[in-house]
Structure 1
Amino acid sequence: MTTSLLALVRDHAAVADHLRWPGEFDLSRTEHVEPVHLASGLRLEPFAGDGGGGTYFFCGEGGEGRPVLFADSEGGAALLAVGLPELLRLLLAAPWWRDCPNCTPEENAEAAAEYLEDEPELLADRDTVAAALGLACPTPAEALARLHRTATGIGREFDLIHTPEGTSYRPLIG
């Protein structure tokens, strides 16, 4: 039987710590700040959050291969990945993805430099965590390019709605 990636994160303190920071991915934060739903009617399952009130949701039915949508606490949302492995590769390769809304090489280089200045062990820690999860880590540029393609491609089909007002969240990427 294959162990799920969520179980590996939960059961491995060093992995969970690294994903919590700098990844801003915390499995203990599963409550979103307001009621939301997808315009398509697909099921939303919150499974993690960030320190700023944002929430990661699985979309639809199934397991860890489902699309992953992120909604922040300010009314922005984006489909980040198709499947948990892809999301974790993004968080490991470019935890600064929020600082690169257009996913340009310039945004990436600037954000990476800031992170590495504050977290000099980031790359070594990232490689250790990727190995523990059994994931190959893409380059930051590859991860951000995939994020941009996902968010601006099939991600447009994942319109997150603030339920009480019936208004759409604004796109975070693009």
Structure 2
Amino acid sequence: MESLITAVREQHEAARFLAWPGDFELDRGDHVEDVHLASGAALEGLAGDGAGGTYFFCGDGGEERPILYADSEGGAALVAIGLPELLRLLLVAPWWRDCRDFTDEESRGLATEYLEDMPDLAARRDRAAVALGLDLPDPADALARLREMAVRAGEGFVLVFKPEGHPYEPLIRN
């Protein structure tokens, strides 16, 4: 079975969608700060965004590992268990970082803003999902899962700024 990382690299249309509006680029996996997980588990930079944020694989294993996102402002959150879950989130709700309340109304409002700028968003998203072999969840379900991951499961994934020993702040709160 081909890895999703390889598929993203080879499927140019999917990679373009993930780069924008997904703001997820595999060539940006180096975080600007020296960090580690408080648990001592392995941390591997996977991808980054245009604002200096980084997606990390946590622990040992392959693409099924938990994924932590750290922004450039000292915030972090567990965002997915495995790369397929993360890519589904980025495909159906690339605006997830702008969500504060994780309500359907908020998500629909953000989706409307994105659609105003990119009328072909849904068609591009669907082609990317097909190219990567991913079934797409409802955006509300994906955001509910994100919130659940960050608030409940995320407690075991605390990112620490090594030089000062300070933990990053939770990006998503209960």
- In which range does the TM-score fall when normalised by the shorter chain? over 0.9
Aligned to 2:66: 67
Shift of 1:173: 1.2
The SS at the match of 2:160 is: strand
CA contact (8 A) 2:13 2:128 kept: yes
Q: Distance in 2 between matches of 1:25 and 1:3?
A: 20
Shift of 1:39: 0.3
Matched residue type, 2:154: G
Deviation at 1:109, TM superposition (A): 1.7
The yes-or-no answer on 1:110 pairing with 2:142 is: no
Percent of residue pairs bearing the same amino acid type: 61
Partner residue of 1:121?
Answer: 120
Shift of 1:11: 1.0
Structure 1 partner of 2:29: 30
CA contact (8 A) 1:29 1:49 kept: yes
**Equivalences for residues 92-103 of structure 1 within 5 A:** 92-103=91-102
- Taking structure 2 as the reference length, the TM-score comes to 0.97
2:129 is matched with which residue? 130
Which amino acid in structure 2 is aligned with residue 34 of structure 1? E
- For structure 1, which segment, 121-130 or 105-114, has the greater mean C-alpha deviation from structure 2 after superposition? 105-114
RMSD: 0.8
Contact 2:92 2:139 in 1 (8 A): yes
Aligned-pair CA distance for 1:156: 1.2
* Greater Cα shift, 136-145 or 105-114: 105-114
Distance in structure 1 (CA, Å) of the matches to 2:79 and 2:4: 17
Pairs within 5 Å for 1:154-165: 154-165=153-164
Residues 99 and 107, structure 1, Cα contact 8 Å, conserved in 2: no
SS in 2 for 1:47: strand
Structure 1 alignment gaps of length 5 or more = none
Letter in 1 for 2:77: A
- 1:30-63: CA deviations, max 9, x gaps? 1101000000001000010000000000000000
- Within 2, Cα distance between the matches of 1:65 and 1:49? 18
3-state SS of 1:28 partner: helix
Compute the displacement of 1:133 (Å). Answer: 0.7
Looking at structure 1, the residues matched to 157 and 170 of structure 2 have their Cα atoms a distance apart, in angstroms, of 10
Counterpart-to-counterpart distance in 1, 2:28 and 2:112:
28
Give the Å deviation of 1:12.
Answer: 1.3
TM-superposed deviation, 1:147: 0.4
